[in-house]
Every structure is written in structure tokens, then in C-alpha cells.
Copies of this chain bind each other. A is one copy, B any other.
Amino acid sequence: MNAEIIAVGSEMLTPFRQDTNSLYLTEKLNALGVAVVFKTIVGDKRTHLVNSVRQALGRVDIVVISGGLGPTEDDLTREAVAEALGRKLVRDADLIANMYARAAARRITITRNNEKQADTVEGAVILENTRGTAPGQWLDIVHGKYRKLLAMLPGPPPELKAMFEDQCLPLLKDALPERAIATRVLKAAMIGESQCDARIAPIYTQYPDVETTILAHLGDIQVNLSCRKPLLAQAKLRVDELTGRIEEELDDILYSSQGETLEQIVLYYLGMHGATLAVAESCTGGLIAERLTDIPGSSRSFLGGAVVYSNELKTKFAGVNPELIARHGAVSGEVAAAMAEGIRRQCDADYGLAVTGIAGPGGGSEEKPVGLVYFAVSGDDSTETLEKRFTGDRSRVRSLAAQQALDMVRRRLM
């Protein structure tokens, strides 16, 4: 079985916006053994949409459409699919009632144009939208002489992902011939893609039946393993064996072999030790706190901290002696260490983490260039500091610094 993904939305035909849903959808479809053979991006014009849906139905088994399900005049996916299939569009009374009930519960009024979202292609199964208002639709039909599966999903990624995961995936699995695929995601921090590949290529090339892909993004390396076999046990065996050998090779830098994020791992270790953490961030400006607090339940181990952009706040919130800043500069190992110790003391935490650096584009000098960042972790017995020089723009330096800081805490906790 093969698939086409159609991304609907005129904004994705501008130079400014790209479809990203298709990357997620491709990953999920591939995991089911379905190859994506076409992707189409089309604007909010009815004739173009109808044309795209017709073409897709003529050349693949599974058509997944994202976007164009909202309430506005240019949300035309429902109409286009109905026209392409030669089916009627029926306004679903239950959906309308449901929509108004939900709005009432949230004490908001919704405008009349929202009712459009209840238009359903004849024969379609409704996919509930748990994250937004526009429902999706699922069709399992005979078109021409062939069986076709067609899903209409909302454009906003959180809505699309929840709907696909919870409702589309089970329907797809039911509809597809059984196939066993075992997958595994290994993650490592702060190593280059080619460096990582040089270390593990001699291993994974011995497993030609396991597909190995390496992805690198801002200090995070993801090694994806995937193996298809008639039986799941066979596939799992191969993936697990390769995982074991890669874990051995990358022992020092691998932080997860189950796909967890670095912040999840840090919180996991903190929980295991019954320890608490507080952070003092200068150049990362809240990025570390933001990543940690994004994880549900993080409040058990993460107390909070301070974004200490100015020197005054480094003193006020992280208890850094102004003389120390005057002597070494705000961007220095000494100040990083004092920030970590200070925030630990002020918050009464078991560990204090601090970052101070120059994210750019301004603020650099010959001695202290843009990209220079100091890190410190302070615990019961000692304070470690680390110096790094990153390249790239402000956003990249900040992201790399946050990743490095979290990895430093992880190593300390291990």
C-alpha cells in the first residue's frame, strides 16, 4: 500500500511557510509499512483542491489531507473531497449540537460560520477533534474499481497529531495487512552527526535488515532503527541486538534508548534521587526552565529559578557578589559558578544550574566572542564549571547552550 499526503493552505505556497505535518505523517505511515510516494501542496482554491484530490485517488491507495477544515470561507477541503468523489455533503446535526454545547461550557459564543465544520462527506466517519473545533473525517471506500482510504485532518499540528494518533492510526491498522515493524530511537547530546556516524557505521552496516537513519538537530542526535519482519519477535530481536551494540559504543554520550527527551531524562534522574533543581539563566533567557516545565509533573523536582539578564539581577536573585562580576566579567567561569551556588542556596535546592554567555549578535569582543558560554552545576559536595564556544546565530547559540546545560546536569546525576 502507498500513500499521498496533500497539505492544503495558500500560506504553504508562499516563500515564508512550509508544510511540516507531512514529516510527522510520513514517519507514522512508514512505521505501518506504508510508503509515501507523493506529496502535494495546494492552495485554498476549490478547483485546485478538487484536482489534487482526484489525482491522488487515481495514483495511490491512501490519501491523507491536512488543513482546510476550519470555519472560514477559504476552508474548502470538505467541499473538494465531496466533489472529487461525487458524493453529497451533509450537515451533521449532532456535530452542530456538540459544537454549541462545547462553546457554552467554555462560556464563549461561536459565530454562525462555524456550522460549516459539521458538513460531512456521505459515508465518512467523524474524527473528533480533542484539541480544537474542526472535526476530521475518514473514508474507507471503493473508488473506480479500487479500495481507497482517505483521511481529512485539521492543519494545526497539535490537533492533527492527536487526531491521527488516537483515531486514524487504529482505523489504518485495521485496514492494512498485518506487518510487523520494530523501531527504536536512541538519543545522544552534544556530538556532531558525522562524528556519531563514524563511530557507529561499522556496527550498523552489519545489520542490513535494520534501517538506520541519523538525524541531527541543535546538539541533539537521534539514531532511528527500524526493522520489518514477518513476525514482531524477529524484528524486535534484530533491533534490540543492534541497540545493545550502539549503546556500548556510545556509552558516554547516549542519554536515551527509548526516545525520551533530554529534559525528561534529567527530571527522571532527579526524581530517582529525590533531588530538586533550580536554574539561573542569563543568555538562555528562560529556555532551560521552559523545557523542563513543559514536562507534566516537573514541579516535583524543578523548583524554578531566575532569568538574570542584568548584572543587578545576578546579584539580587543568584546572590553573585558584584565584585566578582567586576573582576571577571559577567561572562566567566567564576560568575557561572557563583550563579549556580547562589541559586541553589536561594532556592534551597539540591542542585543549582547556571548559564552565562554571549548569544549575539552584539556584545562580543576579541577576548570574549559571540558564542562563548560558561556553565556551572553546583551540588552538595562541589561545583563544576564548563566553557564552550558555539558558532551560529543567536537562536542557535541559545539552543545549544540549553542543550549543553541539561546534558551537564544529566552527567552529574548519573
Q: Which residues of B contact A346 (CB under 8 A)?
A: 316-317
Closest residue of B by beta carbon distance from A183: B14
Q: How far is it, in angstroms, between the C-alpha of A23 and the C-alpha of B205 when the chains are bound? A: 35
Q: How far is the CA of A305 from the CA of B392 in the complex (A)?
A: 26
Chain B: which residue is nearest A20 at the CB level?
A: B18
A158 and B43 contacting across the interface, CB-CB below 8 Å: no
Assess the B303–A286 pair: CB atoms within 8 A: no
Beta-carbon contact of A39 and B13 below 8 Å = yes
Q: Are A14 and B296 in contact (CB under 8 A)?
A: no
A261 within 8 A of B: no
A205: chain B residues at CB < 8 Å are 73
**Cross-chain contact A286 with B293 (CB below 8 angstroms):** yes
Q: Are B10 and A15 in contact (CB under 8 A)?
A: no
Complex interface: chain B residues within 8 A of A156 (CB): 216-217
With an 8 A cutoff between CB atoms, is A98 at the interface? Answer: no
What total of chain A residues lie within 8 Å of the partner, measured CB to CB? 108
The contact string, 1 if C-beta is below 8 Å from chain B, for chain A 22-43, is: 0110110010000111111111
Residues of B within 8 A of A20 (CB): 18
- Asked if A246 is at the interface (CB within 8 A of a chain B CB), the reply is no
Is B14 a contact partner of A26 (Cβ separation < 8 A)?
A: yes
Chain B residues within 8 Å of A309, by CB = 293, 298-299, 302-304
Which B residues lie within 8 Å of A279 (CB)? 307
B42 touches A197 (CB 8 A): no
A347 touches B (CB below 8 Å)? yes
A69 vs B297: C-alpha distance when bound (angstroms): 40
Complexed CA–CA distance, A291 and B396 (Å): 14
The answer to whether A15 touches B11, judged by C-beta atoms less than 8 angstroms apart, is no
Looking at A77-85, A104-112, A143-151, A232-240, the stretch in contact with chain B turns out to be A104-112
Query: How many angstroms between the C-alpha atoms of A285 and B197 in the bound complex?
Result: 36
Q: Which of A285, A292, A395 has the most CB of B within 10 A?
A: A285
12 residue pairs bridging A and B, Cβ less than 8 Å apart: A13-B38, A14-B26, A16-B213, A37-B48, A38-B48, A71-B193, A72-B194, A106-B391, A113-B198, A289-B307, A290-B290, A312-B348
